[in-house]
Amino acid sequence: MGIRAIFVLGPPRTGTTMIGNYLGSARSVLNAGEYRALYLTHGALPMQLAAPLSGLIPADWEPHRLEYMREAQRHSIDFILRAATKEGCTAFCDSFPRNVFIAIQLAELFPDALFVLTLRHYTGTIQSLVRLGTMSLLPGSEPTVDFLDPTAVAAAIHWSRHYEAAMNLPAERTLVFGYDRFCAEPEPVLARFKVALARAGFPVDELDDDVFAVSHASFRPTL
């Protein structure tokens, strides 16, 4: 049996880390956190190579440049599969939000992948993104890659772009998790989510509900 891919997608601050850690709590699932290699090689790298600076790359170098990209893409896949196999897992969970922008590629590369889209109202997401952007400017805090301009307008655009890209997710292999509804009614929402996961072939009996008792925000401690 091969290694199954599980992708948790959505704008940052919509529960992607929380749900990624929850699904990754299953003993047969490798919690890869934000495994950025897939997006970097299948999203960012092709965009960089598609518009090289003119005059800096000779024409006879082009085949090598394209082969480098293909090798990097293959490695990003092979590495995570090997890591899951080494840990004795039958699946891996990647919760990097920007993977939503390569949803089409991921659906083709991993035909049996399960996608989980986290949903959160724009008001809460914008406020959280603004706080995150502000925190990233404080001394000693980790810089954020996905959100660099702590303004409400930038945060709204960030939210919109991610959900617009989510329209490319394969409907038959995509589950949704409502962050706001979960906060309002945790027990019934979690129960319904588990039912949906079980129908999708996920080992729900391995999940650790205690994951929700821990804060997943790097700048907010668990109370």
Indicate if the pLDDT at residue 138 is higher than 70: no
- 12-47 burial, b for 16+ CB within 10 Å, e for fewer? bbbbbbbbbbbbbbbeebbbbebbbbbbbbbbebee
Mean pLDDT of all residues belonging to the chain: 87
Residue 156: enclosing H or E segment and its boundaries? helix 152-165
Which residues, other chains included, contact 206 with Cβ-Cβ below 8 Å and sequence gap of 6+?
25, 26, 27, 28, 29
Q: pLDDT per residue over 43-61, tens digit each? A: 988 877 665 555 566 778 7
Please state the pTM of the whole predicted model: 0.86
Which of the pair, 156 or 134, is modelled with greater confidence?
A: 156
pLDDT of 5 reads 98
Which residues does 125 contact at the CB level (< 8 Å), separation at least 6? 11, 13, 14, 155, 159
Angle at alpha carbon of residue 157, lines to 46 and 33, rounded to 5°: 60
**Cβ partners under 8 Å of residue 173, min gap 6:** 107, 112, 113, 114, 115, 200
Question: From the CB of residue 185, how many other CB atoms can be counted at a distance below 10 Å?
Answer: 13
Domains and CATH numbers, the chain: 4-33+91-213 (3.40.50.300)
